[in-house]
Structure 1
Amino acid sequence: MSECSHNVDDCTDWSVDYLKYKVLLGEPVRIKCALFYGYIRANYTHSQSVGLSLMWYKSTGHGDFEEPISFDGIRMNKEEDAIWFRPTELQDVGHYSCVLRNSTYCMKVSMSLTVAENDTDLCYNSKMRYFEKAELSKSKDITCPDIEDYVQPGKEPEIVWYKECKPKQWRQSIVRRRDTLSIREVREDDIGNYTCELQFGSFVVRRTTELSVTGKKNSFAGHMCSMLGHWG
């Protein structure tokens, strides 16, 4: 073990951050050092200006041996306060620790990355879906979540929507705008999996949301009242 990796043990360790990175195999992902997003007041530029250096380590799980990361500059890059994977591979699964330090100061936090393949014959992994609920005949917005890193500032994202992984002719009451699919009046057949697809350079980013639909809130209560009246 190198002196550098050994010294990681002397850090103030914030353990594993609550934000879990989950990505489909072959898609790009940016893992940001969480220290700059809730643990310390300084940003990356300020930390550099006061002589702090940022180092990255990888382990198979929290508490396991952490190995310094060597960036190839092609598929895996260190860019300011983040690591970019363009694209991800199954071997990338694990915990990524960022360590901010100088001779007298050391802080550390870990971020977990899961990389998984699509389910058989599907465009998503069922364990990586987002979930939304809608009410019959009410309106519902389904957004394309967590795509900020893949949209250029000032540019409208070009998003294609699919239902059950197939292109769809959307009825007039379903409107697509920017990163949102707006259903004006939810119907029972709106239940299902909605996938948004975004081009990012030569890569594709997909997010899938499962929409469940419930009846009107007072329908069950009304049904119970009528049943009780019938029994009485």
Structure 2
Amino acid sequence: MKALPTAPQEKPPGKRMQNQRIQNAVPHFSLSCFPWKKMAGLLFICTYIVDASAFRIQRMESTENCQDHTTYFKEFVALKGEPVILKCPSFTFKHLDCSNHPCNLTWSKNDSKTITPGGDEEPRIWAQGDALWFLPASLEDSGQYICILRNSSYCADVSIHLRVTEKTDVTVIVYKQILFTFTSGKLVCPDLEDFIQKETDLELKWYKDFVPLDEDNAKFKSLKGTHFLYISSVSSKDSGNYICEMSFTHGGTQYNITRMIQLQTFDQEKRVSPLIVFPDQKTTLAALDSKLILPCKVFIGSSKHLDTDVGWLANDTYVDIIYKHGRVTKGERLEIVENDENYIEVPLIFDPVRVIDFYTDFKCEALNSYGRQVLPTRVKQGASSFPWKIAAIPVALTCLILGGLCMHKCWKRRAGNGYAIAKL
């Protein structure tokens, strides 16, 4: 007798299926739930900001405790292969008493390590006193240099910008000088004092519009032992570019020093009217939140100092009216005599520089009974002394918090799905 067929019995679930159910029931972390495109963009921005701040860490370590940060108004331009001397401006250290409390001056470049003084085996760049020497300068020397003067109770730093160009770009280094027609005058080869070893050995070569001047020319005369070029009976044709060259020897190596002078000639009636010779550039670099001293230098010839008034305007309004709280002020008037001619210098002081200054039209005004001249200039943002290392902290925290929220949301969603599967 055949046995009746019985219904097939269901096999108990195996281990593999049980494990699959357990995995579905337990919440876990899955990479698929992340908005990767948004996170990647956020991570890139955070990384960029933090990396950018790393370039300024050294500056913060050396200057963050300084009470006074100043941007030097003048950009130094030098030729490749020539010796260069950067000097730390002493007028910015009025608050430092180095007589009773010894001061220490250090140099650094582009927020990098400190430049040490030269020893017996001097490197190409070395510090000596308040000066930084380049023997010679190279193109990679271009950048921002910071001199820091500190004592036990006070610290101040000054940012100076150096630009090194090729020898063929000599026209970018221009010193403006003025002579009047129908008189005898002299051109001065500038900024040689620190390179002159013996006055008796000083001998310059002069060029006009890149053509050597004839030594036998009675109109132009350069005397050995002086850094002057005498011009007799100046005429309007004498205007143009002059180049003076000097030889300098250091450590058995001879270098050439080149200066270009742009001579402007004026008729006699202009001799008593004011002529603004500085600022000689349309823009001045300044670091945000630093102190900036921008002088206005006015040539007044043979006229008296008291006859000429020099002031500063901001958007065609005098600064003492528009800046009532004194953040931007007109400094003390300085009367100067150079090469037997009279100058007046009045600085514009920013303490400190704000963002609004980058969008303000500043003008230097020189006025007397013979005439008036106005020279506009702009303040442009340069390297900032703002503590980027501190600013990077909240950015990094923001990235961390956003990443944590995304992870939490993803975890919560996966946990809810797992609980529903387990319940079923």
TM-score, normalization: structure 1? 0.75
Matched, 1:182 2:230: yes
2-side partners of 1:156 and 1:98: how far apart?
Answer: 33
- What is the correspondence of 1:100-139 to structure 2 with a 5 Å cutoff? 100-119=149-168, 125-139=170-184
Residues 216 and 76 (structure 1), Cα distance of their counterparts in 2 relative to 1, 3 Å cut: same
Contact 2:108–2:146 (Cα < 8 Å) also in 1: yes
Residues 7 and 144 (structure 1), Cα distance of their counterparts in 2 relative to 1, 3 Å cut: closer
Q: How far off is 1:38 after superposition?
A: 5.0
Q: How far off is 1:7 after superposition?
A: 4.2
TM-score, normalization: structure 2? 0.43
Question: Which of 128, 138, 150 in structure 2 is aligned with 1:79?
Answer: 128
3-state SS, counterpart of residue 159 of structure 2: strand
The amino acid of 1:20's aligned partner reads: E
Contact 1:5–1:68 (Cα < 8 Å) also in 2: no
Q: In structure 2, what is the equivalent of residue 92 of structure 1?
A: 141
Question: Which of 16, 28, 33 in structure 1 is aligned with 2:88?
Answer: 33
Residues 4 and 160 (structure 1), Cα distance of their counterparts in 2 relative to 1, 3 Å cut: closer
- What is the correspondence of 1:10-29 to structure 2 with a 5 Å cutoff? 10-29=65-84
Q: How far off is 1:14 after superposition?
A: 3.2
Q: In structure 2, what is the equivalent of residue 229 of structure 1?
A: none
Residues 12 and 166 (structure 1), Cα distance of their counterparts in 2 relative to 1, 3 Å cut: same
Contact 1:5–1:67 (Cα < 8 Å) also in 2: no
Q: How far off is 1:196 after superposition?
A: 0.7
Across the aligned residues of Structure 1 and Structure 2, the Cα RMSD in angstroms comes to 2.9
Q: How far off is 1:211 after superposition?
A: 1.9
The amino acid of 1:26's aligned partner reads: G
The amino acid of 1:157's aligned partner reads: L
3-state SS, counterpart of residue 222 of structure 2: strand
Q: How far off is 1:141 after superposition?
A: 1.1
**Higher Cα Rg, which structure:** 2
The amino acid of 1:213's aligned partner reads: T
Q: How far off is 1:140 after superposition?
A: 2.2
Larger helix share, 1 or 2? 2
Contact 1:194–1:210 (Cα < 8 Å) also in 2: yes
Give the gaps of 5 or more residues in structure 2.
1-53, 271-424
Give the gaps of 5 or more residues in structure 1.
60-65, 219-232
Equivalenced residue count is 204
2-side partners of 1:39 and 1:54: how far apart?
Answer: 11
Deviates more, 1:144-153 or 1:132-141: 132-141
Report the identity percentage: 29
